[in-house]
Structure 1
Amino acid sequence: MLDACAELLDEVGYDGLSTTRIAERADVAIGSVYQFFPDKRAISQALTRRNVELFVARVGRRFISEEYGGWWDAVDAIIDEYVEMHRSVPGFKSLRFGDAVDLNLLDAGTDNNTVIAGRLRGLLLKEFGMADSERLDTSILVAVEGGDAVLKLAFRRDPDGDPEIIAEAKTLVRSYLSRQLRDFNASASRAAPGARSGS
């Protein structure tokens, strides 16, 4: 049913989606759809969650299988996975991480990009040993919001993503996070015991 929903989203969009169409495409009785999903929003929500899990898994696999010079290369890999999913995963370009339907589709109390930022934060903390802090949380959220906005522009300009704009998205996110982490590390050094005495 989720696969059928994804295919239909690409063909008719969210407005043209219906539980009846999903049942017909999945070749199941409409009652089978309602057994799991009360309406098209619920099935779109389930598909969005699957997209998030797939995205995080794909990024995680890249982190394991590829060598990075630092977190900045990981940022490029994260953006590359988003772009590849937009191009190749059915339903993703229509739904992305749910923002095309509802900014709170993933979690009623938290907007979708905050959920995504939290997942990416976990990956970066695990792989690159960044110091956990509220400031890091805010910085990653702002980077996700900024990168997301520029990537949307890339796909508005070109259905496959304008390469120049995608490159600019990488530059934007890397530059912003570099400055934030540099400022954070400088503040941490000044606050450390003995920092003024040079010990």
Structure 2
Amino acid sequence: MENSGVRRRPVQRRSIERVERILDACAGLLDEVGFDALTTAEVARRARVPAATVYQFFDGKPGMMRALALRNLDLLLVRLRRRAAAEHDLTWRRAAEIVLEETAGMRRTVPGFTVVDFADTRPGGASFLPAGQTQEGGDILAERLYAFAIDEAGLPPLRDPLRAMRLAIEAAGVALRLAFQHSRDGDPAMLAHGRTLLTAYLDRLERD
């Protein structure tokens, strides 16, 4: 079960809109002041809700981070579905290119993404999902990406899939961090190196 950080899931439209405003405010403030300086009080002020409303829906600051990370993951999957629908004879090699392209695009355009991307859906994040919440130690990012690849994109199963996904995700994360370290738009050459690394690895796995 995913620990989303949400204390109470909104049902009514008005509550859903409040939760989205809170997350939008949180993401915007992460870009402006960073993780350490962000406060729930300022999030509430920016979202135009009472501070108590934040705690009504979220388990404080860590809860907002988890919810924002999961929302980012949902957004990535929406983007991947659109890309996969336009592809013919999709391969793991091509899928790796698409994931890297879409994640780089999110770093450029999605508020708060450079501070909290998908980190809190993986073991080792600043306020990560507790181990044991899901199979294989709670690596929701690896699990959901693999499920999408198999169940929706129609890619062939991999041997030892979660280890393979974890390694690919870590490699992509390093490439993206280096590419955006000194460039807001990302260093194209470093992204190309990352693409070479990922595609060679997944191409080999698909042929094994």
Q: TM-score, normalised by structure 1?
A: 0.82
Matched residue, 1:75: 96
| Residue type at the aligned position of 2:130 | A
Tell me, yes or no, if the aligned pair for 2:175 and 2:191 is still in contact at 8 Å.
Answer: yes
Matched residue, 2:206: 181
**Structure 1 residues 9, 147: CA separation in 2 closer, same or farther (over 3 Å shift)?**
same
C-alpha RMSD over aligned residues: 2.5
2:176 to 148, 151, 169: 151
Q: How does 1:98-109 map to 2 (within 5 A)?
A: 98=119, 103-104=124-125, 105=127, 107-109=129-131
SS of residue in 2 equivalent to 1:128: coil
Matched residue, 2:83: 62
**Structure 1 residues 89, 161: CA separation in 2 closer, same or farther (over 3 Å shift)?**
same
Count of residues in correspondence between the two structures = 182
Deviation at 1:179, TM superposition (A): 2.1
Matched residue, 1:131: 157
SS of residue in 1 equivalent to 2:181: helix
Q: How does 1:39-58 map to 2 (within 5 A)?
A: 39-58=60-79
Bigger fraction of residues in helix: 1
1:26 to 32, 47, 65: 47
Identity of aligned residues (%): 36
Deviation at 1:69, TM superposition (A): 5.3
Tell me, yes or no, if the aligned pair for 1:113 and 1:144 is still in contact at 8 Å.
Answer: no
SS of residue in 1 equivalent to 2:139: helix
Larger radius of gyration: 1
Deviations 1:16-60, CA, capped at 9 Å, x for gaps:
100010011011111111211232111111111111111112111
| Residue type at the aligned position of 1:178 | D
Deviations 1:125-162, CA, capped at 9 Å, x for gaps:
232341354x2322222111111111111111312111
Is 1:94 equivalent to 2:120 in the alignment? no
SS of residue in 2 equivalent to 1:157: coil
SS of residue in 2 equivalent to 1:94: coil
SS of residue in 2 equivalent to 1:138: helix
Deviation at 1:97, TM superposition (A): 0.9
Matched residue, 2:139: 114
Mark the runs of 5 or more structure 2 residues left unpaired by the alignment. 1-21
Mark the runs of 5 or more structure 1 residues left unpaired by the alignment. 184-199
Question: Which deviates more from structure 2 when the two are superposed, residues 117-126 or residues 8-17?
Answer: 117-126
Q: Higher relative CO (CA 8 A, sep ≥ 6), structure 1 or 2?
A: 2
Q: TM-score, normalised by structure 2?
A: 0.78
Is 1:17 equivalent to 2:38 in the alignment? yes
**Structure 1 residues 124, 69: CA separation in 2 closer, same or farther (over 3 Å shift)?**
closer
Is 1:162 equivalent to 2:187 in the alignment? yes
Question: Which deviates more from structure 2 when the two are superposed, residues 159-168 or residues 111-120?
Answer: 111-120
Is 1:141 equivalent to 2:172 in the alignment? no
